[in-house]
Amino acid sequence: MNRLFNLFSTGAGVPGPFWVMVRKEGGDHIRSWRFMVMLLLILFTFLGAMYVSLSNIRRVVTDFNDPDHVFVYLKLLTTSDNSLPTFYIFISFLGPLLGIALGFDAINSEKNNGTLVRLLAQPVYRDNLLLAKFYAALTIVGVLFLSLVLLMIGAGLLITGVPMEAAELFRILAFVVLSVIYVGFWLSLSIALSVLFKHAATSALTAIGIWLFFTVFYQLIVNMVVRTVLPDPASLAPEQVVIYNNIILSWFRLAPSQLYTDAATTLLMPSVRSLGPLTMEQMAGAIPAPLSFRESLMVVWPQVTGLVAATVVCFAGAYYFFMRREIRT
Amino acid sequence: MTTNPIIELDRLTKSYGTKKAVDHLSLKVNKGEIFGLLGPNGAGKTTTILMMLGLAEPTSGQAVVCGINATRNPVGVRRKVGYLPDSAGFYDNLTALDNLMYVGRLNGIPEKDIRSRARNTMEMVGLGAEMHKKTGAYSRGMKQRLGLADLLIREPEVMILDEPTLGIDPAGIREFLMLIRQLSRQQELTVLLSSHHLHQMQQICDRVGIFVEGKLLAEGNLETLAGNLFGKDSFVVQVSLREPLTAPVEIERQLLALPGVNKVSITEGNVDMSCSTDITPDIVRFFVRSGLNVTGVHKKEYGLDEIYHRFFEQNTKKYILNEQAV
């Protein structure tokens, strides 16, 4: 970290342009109305989800049929009585909005205000600007999620008095990291769109369009296509049904929200041992017991990799278009 | 003229497809000079400036500023050169002082000096009273001043201002240009201005270059430019008379007989004469001897206006000739 810091510093205690930009972007976000609105939205859904899970926590942790009943804090994040979705489901569709809100006008508004060319005439590298915008927004998201989750742990500790296990803490921290990566994907997508489109409104609408497509239409389309292309599952042999389900699942997993909910479920519910259908042979001899943290991490690894890869692709796209662009007013 | 070029452009070319925005431009600007890049809109002035800053890549040729190649080391150049774009924007949600301090920080000014330096710079450009206002509330003229402050806080060696007078009222323009001149003289700054306003450039530039369709047609100070261009017709004398001439043809013949007079045009009570040498006294004597009532004599000195028009005239002529040749 120290070496990384030096990379962006001019030495003698003067922060390099990268950190100056990060500081300014972060300050701008925190003072902006749109962040306030998103913050309130997330805070309210968090409080709502917590209220529901806390009022059901007694029932859930005494349910001895559930192998996860010992994990009180994980239950706080995953319990619901179906009146409200759980917090991670909320994040799976509010996270994209947060990422889009923080990134949709990153470059084009600067360009339209005439600040971009003035900024780039300073002794700064062009990629540092993109990186600073990404880093600043992601830091804020990280701090937001981390503080929410720590608040939840604190409240849970006060209310239930149950000490926390290390595995639970790791799982919850891994969930925070996962959520930040998920928001990071949408952030880098919206930054890429802000480089591509001239008007902030266009890039915002495009980003929201992509988000809507993945949350609403994508599953419908996949189901429709699969139903017309593949034979009716009722007429298939059991092994073929497994293949059939796997095909549908792998198509679903092209949607980032699916990757996120898959990974979040596995991390927050230790008894989830596979994200695909399991055959009877695979299940034979398996004891319904929670997985260790490391094993859960192994299960979600492809999902996490997918999300990171999608983020990197979007960011690389933004980088590619931005570096080639001639900046003029 | 000393040969100490701080900006050196060598056959700089930028093409967009088949169109050449800048065409083999070679130019030298010396240290401490105020150079005006003059040309109509779309002549390639901004493109040239962007290439000098390494914000655009030249198709061929090179730009060397402060001894640094702008294409290979753009950040190095930008450390020494301040650039004010033609419509510089500021972060409207920040105060002017914060905007200035941000630029200062980006340029690595230590945190303990930054506030005092930003304040001093604001005072220098005459915005001392308005430094805590948000820039969203700034007028166009104030923004230009803030833009100048933005350059000065970096203590650059070269300042490049792209159309700095655009959108300021006439009084503001004069004040702004004088401020640039004064600052440039005080701090021995090299200043490169681009504009299509001739009179404004005339007020402050040591040297101008006329730039049309990506080519530098001429450069030099105003006298040499006028001399080069107008050659034998360098002086124009206009005489106003109280009554319209009764025998214009006769007067014209006699005037043309005077040594040095090349062209005479008579309209009502005004007589315009183009001369190769300054013979104003002889002309006045002639009118007085002819018994005409002279109400005014005006010796026209060539301003950039005339230079400019002359260039366009020549260019259109060339253009028409080329067309015919095709």
A36 touches B: beta carbon within 8 Å:
no
A-B CB pairs within 8 A amount to 80
Q: Distance (Å, rounded) from C-alpha B267 to C-alpha A191?
A: 66
Q: Distance (Å, rounded) from C-alpha B145 to C-alpha B166?
A: 12
pLDDT tens-place string over residues A178-208: 999 999 999 999 999 999 999 999 999 999 9
Res B230: pLDDT: 65
Ordered DSSP codes for A279-327: -HHHHTT----PPPHHHHHHHHHHHHHHHHHHHHHHHHHHHHHHHHPPP
CATH code of the domain covering residue B75: 3.40.50.300
Provide the CB-side half-sphere exposure for A16 (13 A, CA): 15
- The domain of B151 spans 5-220
Q: Distance (Å, rounded) from C-alpha A193 to C-alpha A99?
A: 12
- Spell out which residues of chain B touch residue A21, defining contact as CB-CB under 8 Å: 106
The Cα of B83 is separated from the nearest Cα of chain A by a number of Å equal to: 6
| A122 with B106: Cβ contact below 8 A | yes
B169, B284: one domain: no
**pLDDT band of B322, cuts 50, 70, 90:** low
B66 touches A: beta carbon within 8 Å:
no
Res A176: pLDDT: 94
Query: What mean pLDDT, rounded, does chain B reach?
Result: 83
B41 touches A: beta carbon within 8 Å:
no
Q: Distance (Å, rounded) from C-alpha A152 to C-alpha A25?
A: 28
* Least confidently predicted of B7-16, B39-48, B56-65: B39-48
- Asked whether the predicted pLDDT for residue B78 surpasses 60, the reply is yes
- Spell out which residues of chain A touch residue B14, defining contact as CB-CB under 8 Å: none
A123 touches B: beta carbon within 8 Å:
yes
Nearest to A207 by CA among A284, A286, A100: A100
A294 touches B: beta carbon within 8 Å:
no
- Spell out which residues of chain B touch residue A117, defining contact as CB-CB under 8 Å: 55, 85, 88
| Residue B41 lies inside a defined structural domain of this protein | yes
* Least confidently predicted of A173-177, A233-237, A271-275, B139-143: A271-275
Tally the domains of chain B: 2
Beta strand extents in A134-223 (DSSP E only): none
- Asked whether the predicted pLDDT for residue A125 surpasses 50, the reply is yes
In this prediction, residues B232-251 reach a mean pLDDT of 79
Question: Burial, B116: exposed, middle or buried (Cβ in 10 Å; 0-12, 13-18, 19+)?
Answer: exposed
B242, B216: one domain: no
| Residue B324 lies inside a defined structural domain of this protein | no
- Asked whether the predicted pLDDT for residue B303 surpasses 90, the reply is no
Nearest to A8 by CA among A96, A128, A153, A151: A128
B79, B137: one domain: yes
- Asked whether the predicted pLDDT for residue B76 surpasses 70, the reply is yes
Res A283: pLDDT: 66
Please measure the distance between the N-terminal and C-terminal CA atoms of chain B and give it in whole angstroms: 43
B280, B193: one domain: no
In this prediction, residues B100-105 reach a mean pLDDT of 92
B55, B162: one domain: yes
| Residue B19 lies inside a defined structural domain of this protein | yes
B144, B270: one domain: no
A282 touches B: beta carbon within 8 Å:
no
Residue of chain A whose alpha carbon sits nearest to that of B150: A118
The Cα of B152 is separated from the nearest Cα of chain A by a number of Å equal to: 12
**pLDDT band of A15, cuts 50, 70, 90:** confident
B64, B186: one domain: yes
**pLDDT band of B272, cuts 50, 70, 90:** confident
- Asked whether the predicted pLDDT for residue A108 surpasses 70, the reply is yes
CATH code of the domain covering residue B288: 3.30.70.100
In this prediction, residues B253-260 reach a mean pLDDT of 84
- Asked whether the predicted pLDDT for residue A6 surpasses 50, the reply is no
B105 touches A: beta carbon within 8 Å:
yes
Q: Is pLDDT larger for residue A274 or for residue A41?
A: A41
B39, B173: one domain: yes
pLDDT tens-place string over residues B197-223: 777 787 788 888 888 788 887 788 766
B154, B54: one domain: yes
- Asked whether the predicted pLDDT for residue B61 surpasses 60, the reply is yes
Q: Distance (Å, rounded) from C-alpha A17 to C-alpha A126?
A: 11
Query: What mean pLDDT, rounded, does chain A reach?
Result: 86
Nearest CB neighbour to B56, from listed A118, A125, A326? A326
In this prediction, residues B249-274 reach a mean pLDDT of 83
B198, B172: one domain: yes
Highest mean pLDDT among A144-148, B164-168, B214-218: A144-148
A13 touches B: beta carbon within 8 Å:
yes
B211, B77: one domain: yes
Token pair belonging to A238: 């059991």
**Where in chain A are the domains?**
2-324
A70 CB contacts (<8 Å, ≥6 apart)? Answer: A61, A290
B201, B259: one domain: no
